[in-house]
Chains A and B, each alone.
Chain A
């Protein structure tokens, strides 16, 4: 059996290029419209993509001067009207409340029946002004600590904590609810979470390789987003997903010309991702070659309106024909689709309480 390459598509704003909105067919108001989001979800699901990602930043986005909606809210908005595609919003860790992040992502996992991921990122220093806090000295350390606290909170309810025992009048078994007592020295979280354990146990935790630098412990992440063209999948380690900015040939203009025109308007910053320009067919061939080398690829379209149509007409059909995509099955959890174990609960005491394999309960 061929090893699949899991495809993710980011659907933030007008596209990865800061000049995208000038080329977009969407008016500024439409860029963040609910209808446009719905369209992306339908497209991703119909073409066998593993997940949609929702980039985010609390700061103004030059790619979309008209606005920028919260990523968790956007992902949640699609949870009830999709059945298969994974939903992976950014929620930053530097200035957030771990308790709120844990509750939000667990809720997304409940309402999507186990299709939630969490892209845990650090915030730029400028974000500190928005929350009125001093600039964090060690964002990468903060990220590791917050992910640790969030995972502990996700375990603070054992899977079968709700017992509904009419005879004794007990709704929950309090012995299966746990104070997590995480203390970093800078802050602490008591627990338990106010949200019961979600279908996946833990949503799929995604971390950018840059945020893991200087950290020996990669177990923080289920998936690592890498901008390194030489990245390889690592058996036993987190899944490796390449982060790729694409600019594609359209009927009217070759990719290189489009990129030059975009750059002339507003030079794009280096976000530490691979940049790929060419035809949709050539992209499909490259992605097919990556099957078995990495676990997946996340695509960022230069101008969503233009590049997505090329992806739909050429790249995705070619990948399906080559059988390197493994479309998620309706009702499957994101962990099941990705071949990740459902984490055992760290507090579970009896063998009956440990569930693995990702079956939604």
Chain B
């Protein structure tokens, strides 16, 4: 754990912003525990969002997947599969909450700007200004098989299309002047649309824009366009600080003030009462997430073959992977990596640590976020935001729907005691909670 030092607090008055990410599809969600609720029942979403709102969380996130993950032609069957449509579910939650922001992940490839902008604006009006859009891109033909357009987009074009898409959506949202709508007419390399919008502005004017890409192109897109970056740098402080500094640099380069784009890394938080309990609970979480079957499946992704017949407590395969690149179209998060290089590295780590196949995967999965007592965690998270490593965290609960209970009941009060967490919502809109200024196109 990082020891907070007094001399590196660049933002001494910063407070921690929390979001909750209902992950849905990933092995981070433990479904095997008796306390684990349905991943699709509406009651699960209601309990989680109400807990988050009680804990003054800024936002409730839903992910999106437009095709079920497959490995070698078979649907992946080990993790949670299936979730509601994000915008539809969030509209229901808008009717059951009063303050929390509602963030829908929606991609720019398999939607139309007129339609998506209208649905997002509808959520924004129905929620009284609490909607946000986590802009993601997809470019693979495999996902495209579920859509009329198919897989038509060149990889190189995906951020260009995303930028044009967002700009078109912003024009839709800007078309209402309080009395009437101005027709929107867009003709560029990607879109040829002409129509008169029908949805007026919400109290926060536009849905808040989140962006999650991590590549240089993704970072530039975010700092030119978005309000918040949803990053993967939520584990290691030095790594997070480097990322946040890079975002600040790019934000200034895009002609915006340094603090104009917030950074909210995704992370996991394990809270317990004593250090011994923390260690035990963190180990339990990890072993529930990485079951023997999941360990074999993850190693199988790298080797490119079905390894389910292997002994998870035995060694890694002795032979080289049968593939060169890890398949980018099947939702493997190491997509695009060189399989043989990765396998070689894994074998070296396993040999050095004396790890079995599953122990190696556990070893690689152990740095998912934070574990500690409420008091330790409050010190550490306050240090993160005050040193500028992030503006808060987007927490993935490892259990739903009860996975936020200890965070809200123990960690939030500990942060409040340190003056590092709000004691009430700043307003009623998400833009107000996050301290964001007017939308970029309305400044």
Q: Which of B74, B180, B294 is within 8 Å of A174, CB to CB?
A: B74
Give B132 Cβ to nearest chain A Cβ, in Å. 15
Which residues of A lie under 8 Å from residue B67 when comparing CB positions?
190, 194
Q: Please encode chain A, from 52 to 85, with 1 for each CB lying within 8 Å of some chain B CB and 0 for all others.
A: 0000011111000111111011101111110000
B66 is an interface residue with CB less than 8 A from chain A: yes
| CA–CA, A95 and B147, complex, Å | 12
Q: Please encode chain B, from 272 to 304, with 1 for each CB lying within 8 Å of some chain A CB and 0 for all others.
A: 000000000000000000011110000000000
- The reply to whether B294 and A169 contact each other, CB–CB distance below 8 Å, is yes
Which residues of B lie under 8 Å from residue A316 when comparing CB positions?
none
Task: Say whether, besides A59-B195, A195-B84, A34 and B146 are in contact (CB < 8 Å).
Answer: no
Q: Is the interface of B mostly helix, strand, loop or mixed?
A: loop
- The reply to whether A58 and B42 contact each other, CB–CB distance below 8 Å, is no
B193 is an interface residue with CB less than 8 A from chain A: yes
- The reply to whether A104 and B87 contact each other, CB–CB distance below 8 Å, is yes
Which residues of B lie under 8 Å from residue A72 when comparing CB positions?
88, 91, 119
| In the complex, chain B residues 49-94 whose Cβ is within 8 Å of any chain A Cβ | 65-68, 74-75, 77-85, 87-89, 91-94
Q: Please encode chain A, from 267 to 291, with 1 for each CB lying within 8 Å of some chain B CB and 0 for all others.
A: 0000000000000000000000000
- The reply to whether A103 and B81 contact each other, CB–CB distance below 8 Å, is no
A132 is an interface residue with CB less than 8 A from chain B: yes
- The reply to whether A80 and B200 contact each other, CB–CB distance below 8 Å, is no
A213 is an interface residue with CB less than 8 A from chain B: no
Give A87 Cβ to nearest chain B Cβ, in Å. 10
- The reply to whether A173 and B119 contact each other, CB–CB distance below 8 Å, is no
B47 is an interface residue with CB less than 8 A from chain A: no
Q: Please encode chain A, from 102 to 114, with 1 for each CB lying within 8 Å of some chain B CB and 0 for all others.
A: 0110111011110
Task: Say whether, besides A81-B96, A111-B92, A166 and B32 are in contact (CB < 8 Å).
Answer: yes
- The reply to whether A171 and B80 contact each other, CB–CB distance below 8 Å, is yes
B128 is an interface residue with CB less than 8 A from chain A: yes
Residue of B nearest to A188 (CB): B145
Give B256 Cβ to nearest chain A Cβ, in Å. 30
Give A85 Cβ to nearest chain B Cβ, in Å. 14
- The reply to whether B192 and A132 contact each other, CB–CB distance below 8 Å, is yes
Give A236 Cβ to nearest chain B Cβ, in Å. 33
| CA–CA, A177 and B70, complex, Å | 12
A32 is an interface residue with CB less than 8 A from chain B: yes
| CA–CA, A37 and B180, complex, Å | 22
Residue of B nearest to A73 (CB): B122
Residue of B nearest to A35 (CB): B128
| CA–CA, A111 and B94, complex, Å | 12
Residue of B nearest to A95 (CB): B112
- The reply to whether B193 and A80 contact each other, CB–CB distance below 8 Å, is no
Residue of A nearest to B33 (CB): A166
A100 is an interface residue with CB less than 8 A from chain B: yes
Interface residues of A (CB under 8 A from B): 29, 32, 34, 37-38, 57-61, 65-70, 72-74, 76-81, 95-100, 103-104, 106-108, 110-113, 127, 129-132, 157, 162, 164, 166, 168-174, 177, 186-192, 194-196
Which residues of B lie under 8 Å from residue A196 when comparing CB positions?
40, 82
- The reply to whether A73 and B200 contact each other, CB–CB distance below 8 Å, is no
- The reply to whether A70 and B68 contact each other, CB–CB distance below 8 Å, is no
Give B113 Cβ to nearest chain A Cβ, in Å. 9
B157 is an interface residue with CB less than 8 A from chain A: no
Task: Say whether, besides A34-B128, A80-B46, A110-B84, A192 and B92 are in contact (CB < 8 Å).
Answer: no
Q: Which of B82, B121, B193, B200 is within 8 Å of A195, CB to CB?
A: B82
| CA–CA, A65 and B200, complex, Å | 10
Task: Say whether, besides A99-B147, A174-B74, A189-B146, A58 and B82 are in contact (CB < 8 Å).
Answer: no
Task: Say whether, besides A164-B32, A170-B77, A110 and B40 are in contact (CB < 8 Å).
Answer: yes
- The reply to whether A67 and B199 contact each other, CB–CB distance below 8 Å, is yes
- The reply to whether A173 and B77 contact each other, CB–CB distance below 8 Å, is yes
Q: Which of B45, B46, B68, B294 is within 8 Å of A177, CB to CB?
A: B68
| CA–CA, A159 and B313, complex, Å | 35
- The reply to whether A195 and B148 contact each other, CB–CB distance below 8 Å, is no
The 8 closest A-B CB pairs, nearest first, are A169-B293, A76-B91, A130-B195, A107-B84, A68-B198, A190-B145, A107-B88, A73-B122
B406 is an interface residue with CB less than 8 A from chain A: no
Q: A32-B200, A80-B92 are in contact. List 16 more A-B contacts (CB 8 A).
A: A34-B94, A34-B128, A60-B181, A65-B180, A66-B200, A73-B119, A73-B126, A76-B95, A77-B92, A80-B93, A100-B110, A103-B84, A129-B193, A129-B194, A169-B291, A196-B40
Interface residues of B (CB under 8 A from A): 31-32, 39-42, 45-46, 65-68, 74-75, 77-85, 87-89, 91-96, 110-112, 114-115, 118-119, 121-123, 125-128, 145-148, 150, 176, 180-181, 191-196, 198-200, 291-294
Residue of A nearest to B127 (CB): A34
- The reply to whether B126 and A69 contact each other, CB–CB distance below 8 Å, is yes
Give B239 Cβ to nearest chain A Cβ, in Å. 31
| CA–CA, A66 and B32, complex, Å | 50
- List 29 A–B pairs whose Cβ atoms lie within 8 Å, in order of A's numbering: A34-B95, A34-B125, A37-B126, A58-B195, A59-B195, A67-B176, A67-B198, A67-B199, A68-B199, A73-B88, A74-B91, A77-B92, A98-B148, A99-B66, A100-B111, A107-B84, A111-B92, A113-B42, A127-B195, A130-B115, A131-B112, A131-B114, A162-B81, A166-B32, A169-B291, A171-B31, A172-B82, A187-B147, A194-B67
- The reply to whether B119 and A106 contact each other, CB–CB distance below 8 Å, is no
- The reply to whether B148 and A79 contact each other, CB–CB distance below 8 Å, is no
Residue of B nearest to A92 (CB): B115
Q: Which of A38, A68, A170, A195 is within 8 Å of B40, CB to CB?
A: A195
Q: Output the residue of A96, A97, A132, A187 with the most chain B CB within 10 A.
A: A132
- The reply to whether B192 and A170 contact each other, CB–CB distance below 8 Å, is no
| CA–CA, A305 and B218, complex, Å | 49
Q: Which of B83, B91, B95 is within 8 Å of A194, CB to CB?
A: B83
Give B234 Cβ to nearest chain A Cβ, in Å. 25
Residue of A nearest to B198 (CB): A68
Residue of A nearest to B194 (CB): A129
Which residues of A lie under 8 Å from residue B92 when comparing CB positions?
76-77, 79-80, 108, 111-112
- The reply to whether A104 and B75 contact each other, CB–CB distance below 8 Å, is no
Residue of A nearest to B116 (CB): A100
Residue of B nearest to A38 (CB): B95
Which residues of B lie under 8 Å from residue A112 when comparing CB positions?
92
Which residues of A lie under 8 Å from residue B39 when comparing CB positions?
162
Q: Which of B79, B111, B145, B191 is within 8 Å of A132, CB to CB?
A: B191
| CA–CA, A67 and B121, complex, Å | 11
| CA–CA, A174 and B72, complex, Å | 13
- The reply to whether B180 and A77 contact each other, CB–CB distance below 8 Å, is no
- The reply to whether A169 and B195 contact each other, CB–CB distance below 8 Å, is no
- The reply to whether A77 and B94 contact each other, CB–CB distance below 8 Å, is yes
Give A156 Cβ to nearest chain B Cβ, in Å. 9
- The reply to whether B123 and A73 contact each other, CB–CB distance below 8 Å, is yes
- The reply to whether A172 and B126 contact each other, CB–CB distance below 8 Å, is no
Q: Which of A58, A78, A97, A172 is within 8 Å of B81, CB to CB?
A: A172
Task: Say whether, besides A81-B95, A110-B42, A194-B68, A67 and B200 are in contact (CB < 8 Å).
Answer: yes
